[in-house]
Amino acid sequence: MRSIFTAILALSVASFSSSAPTLSAEDPPAWAYPVNPPDFKPRPDDGILRRVPGSSATYSVTQLRDRFIAPVWHPGDHPPLPEIVAQGRKPNVFACGFCHREDGPGGPENANLAGLPPAYIVQQMADYKTGARKSSVPTRGPIALKISLSKDITDTEVQAAALYFSALKPRANISVVGWFLAASNSGEKEPIGQRIIEVPEDLEQFENRDPRSQFIAYVPIGSIAKGAALVSTGGEGKTLQCAICHGQDLKGLGGIPSIVGRSPSYVLRQLNDIQTGARAGMAAQLMKATVVNLTVDDMVSIAAYLASQTP
């Protein structure tokens, strides 16, 4: 199966060009903000039921593309899904578990919701609804879908989803590797440059929306150490120590979320969106002083270090 999820993987695949991209300081890094090409067409359903390791469940390609179905591959991994997570509400409120998976880990294209404070999840949905939270690249599919459903979802539905996801325990699903070459579509190698190349270990497992999917994030050599210094010391005034708000273990304090073990592509987008003002909610305002002086290279390093830590 090659579906819209493959296009989402432009986080990695589309980044493999003939040369590393050159962007101005004002441009959002294209490798972190993939969009579907205008002529993209999902592969048609071939009638073969899909399976994933460790599950007896089966789903057709059509079912896996249905935004009102959250595939439940591993029911023993989590409590029963609330209706809003399992199937949403037609015609406009998609199943939360369609994008974020049955127990919340999401993927490089969106947020890991497992273990986030419920009040934080509620506030983010409110920010989407009011327009306070957007993306530096508004044409990105995941953010457009979230903004769309936020207009019709009820407070009761948001609360049910928030309580469900917040009660789940986050788990490690990313291996961070310092590397300097990446395979291109031609099979040759090219410098990673100052990018993060994030790929699933098993593409089909990811496309099938298996929440147990594992990912590898290739990051620039030395970025983890540089990120550790920025996170722990503030980099001699360039930024602020993350522990001030997110706790000594960076796993959150009160209504402030954990920032460790998350997709580095996702983390970089959030830092960039806060810096550009695309994220302008109350929580984002508290981050303004933290990101104002960061370069994209700094964000890459911070994201790489945070992703390398245990959630």
The predicted-structure confidence for 94-130, as pLDDT tens digits, reads as follows 999 999 999 999 999 999 999 999 999 999 999 999 9
Give the amino acid at 139.
Answer: T
Of the listed ranges 13-17, 46-50, 305-309, the least confidently predicted one is 13-17
Residue 252, pLDDT > 50, answer: yes
Q: Which domain holds residue 77?
A: 4-307
Q: How many domains does the chain have?
A: 1
Q: Which two tokens stand for residue 77?
A: 């991994």
Q: Find out whether 87 and 96 touch, Cβ atoms under 8 Å.
A: no
Q: Give 210-241 pLDDT, tens digit per residue.
A: 999 999 999 999 999 999 999 999 999 999 99
Task: Name 38's Cβ contacts closer than 8 Å, sequence gap at least 6.
Answer: none
Give residue 22's pLDDT: 37
Instruction: Please state, in angstroms and rounded to a whole number, the distance separating the CA atoms of residues 99 and 85.
Output: 10
Instruction: Please state, in angstroms and rounded to a whole number, the distance separating the CA atoms of residues 61 and 46.
Output: 8
Give residue 41's pLDDT: 86
Q: Find out whether 200 and 217 touch, Cβ atoms under 8 Å.
A: no
Cα 240 to Cα 71, 232, 245, 301, 309, distances in angstroms? 40, 8, 10, 15, 19
Task: Name 310's Cβ contacts closer than 8 Å, sequence gap at least 6.
Answer: 172, 260, 261
Residue 40, pLDDT > 80, answer: yes
142 half-sphere exposure, CB direction, 13 A CA radius: 25
Give residue 134's pLDDT: 96
Three-state DSSP at 238 gives: coil
Give the amino acid at 145.
Answer: L
Give residue 5's pLDDT: 38
List beta partners, residue 197: 218
